[in-house]
A and B are shown apart, each in its own frame.
Chain A
């Protein structure tokens, strides 16, 4: 193991190198451009034996990834924001064909207005594409989840593609220490890639991704449903095996300072770090506040969340996405997951840090004060944090 100082984008590139990815079709986009750049460098230096396919769009990148994966080789790519949106229709083909492609996403806002900074709207908009979704808190997590994603995706019980989200700039462009595992240990952990599915092979011709008539289509979808549900246990197994081999612990849901907490702050991605520091400060002040980090969003860890959140009085969901006309996606799913509990905490949604707006202690204080109020009285279901509401209300003719 070596400790390296790398950017989040390099974490994804190193994960692909250590996983011995064989084909990387990619189209560069801010903020994830460094991923294909670094991989091209690895290939040019002879450090990585892979075919790099420079395509003319993200739609083509995913199409080429599907073709390569259908041939039965390990495939990785990376994109962000508009690039992921452009892949939209092809994403469903990758998951529908049950191809274990892994993709790094530099989580970035969607236009308009054009914005290159961090939020989770890009991946959330692909929530129903049939891909597994992992969100990294740090560059170390980007690397580790990148490696584990292959093992989970390629498991015979799963065979589904996976996205690993690293927050735009906050991770993609931030240099920090990352413990780099040895190649032989990763080889041992992942094993050689053997496709457990019919592949494109001129010696044994087969048709893949063909027509599905009404009498068959739904069975394919039911298969994906089963696979995504089984992914829950596979993720748990792979996380446990990873911890045994590399010493770093992962969980779909990680509670901290949660046991006696009245208020639990639910976070995803890089905002977890600052929130952890904030929670420590609040604990010093004697406030019963805890943190619940959500690492896996698809499959959604309902059971774990119920267990961790059931004793809290208020669950404050902090999220960098918005489903207009309802609220945040995490809030929607989490509320629905908790609905089966007899005694349930009050769930309050906080839309925060869209388009790279910095999430500071002040933002978190604003959210916490609403959550504290919610302990005793009704508050808005969906709360926008750090927003100049007056300016918007004026512009909308309401003030």
Chain B
């Protein structure tokens, strides 16, 4: 089981890595080259000191170095032209700088390509997940998976992994170069390294929980501030400023104290780390001097040793922490895979694209949400082509479920009845085609963080301002929008002007009107529009969509009364049906609501 999970995670990573693998390998290559250049420089200094300026015999050097010296003219010539060696160092530095640059760029290119692939795949996948999935999962949780889990994964692959490889290469190279000079000093110099790594690893493993605790409490504090700010009107109206402040201060102190408790362990960790690194240098200095005196090593090699020690101090100190933090990525992988493994919405039927101007028939439809009670009980009714059906019902009556089924946002199971348009079962109709031909305006319309014009034209880029305005006029929105200082270029949605409920609904209506559709659904979508505007919009709709089949869900009698037929739904069953005139006198729920809305008939103009 565990193994299978690992395998699946790996497969997903490999899939995400398509297009960035080569870049990653390239960046590792440059990183190794840069490290190599770093390692060679102390060798040049050492050779200069011990062999060129000093008198160490050349035969202790590897043959390629000897060949290099003789190529440059031999020891004597070089001794007179130290500048050449300096120039060699500068050229080496230039190579190193170029490799460093190429490493940085290729690593970022790889990382960003990876992130782009992950984000694009997730976004595209989420877009195509069934609506039921969206209902089942919490928005905040999913967003977190798409943002911070992606970041964790990116950090793991593009920072931690590459850094780990880089540091390991660096360590291996320095050990190799050190070994080539003096085996015993290498062993002594490397002695503290495993201690430093293990110490740092265990420290970070232990303190990790405390960090998590801090993070969580910071989250709580942040949420407290957020709630206070969004609820400022409630806080003031109830005069609860003092309690709010006290609560915030208490949490703030608690959070701060958590950090303060970490001060000592953290400071101890750093100081002990300093001592360990200092010890490493000290050992090298003392034993290096010893070997130099004994003549087993030249001063140039001694200096080179010190350079290597200085180079590895920070990477080594980072290593333990990096290893301890690596485990986080596994959790993020699982969380992302949860999304990627959810199956996308797929057409099961034959994908027909029939004419949708026919009768809409609900035939013995029974439905319940996953794990819930039945919300629709054996419903049957027909909406003749080109007519308007009104639906009246309270919350939980099943009216919105009917529309979700009609739009195939929920799939009606095989044995629980049949919905058809023009005689064709919905299951056989291509989902995209069906939705494109149903204009659906929702009770709480969703507007995108774009301009009003872009929102209205979201289905059709090519609409142009005149097209947008025409739709807006039909929805009684044009006048309102022209009143805004930026007109149709006004940003709405989360990062823009917040429109009133009625303005939102009218924008959503305008958006629907940009396409000529045979079926229109208004799911309580005029509730926030005042009565006058409501009437104006309805007559505009009638002239525009005269021949469309319309479903009007509303709890307003004035809206419903225009419908050819009205269904009164109650807890998933049809309670009454008929025309407004019939129902008004039927003595049922409809009549009761009529009376409620007309003020029991007391007021007659």
* A is bound by B: no
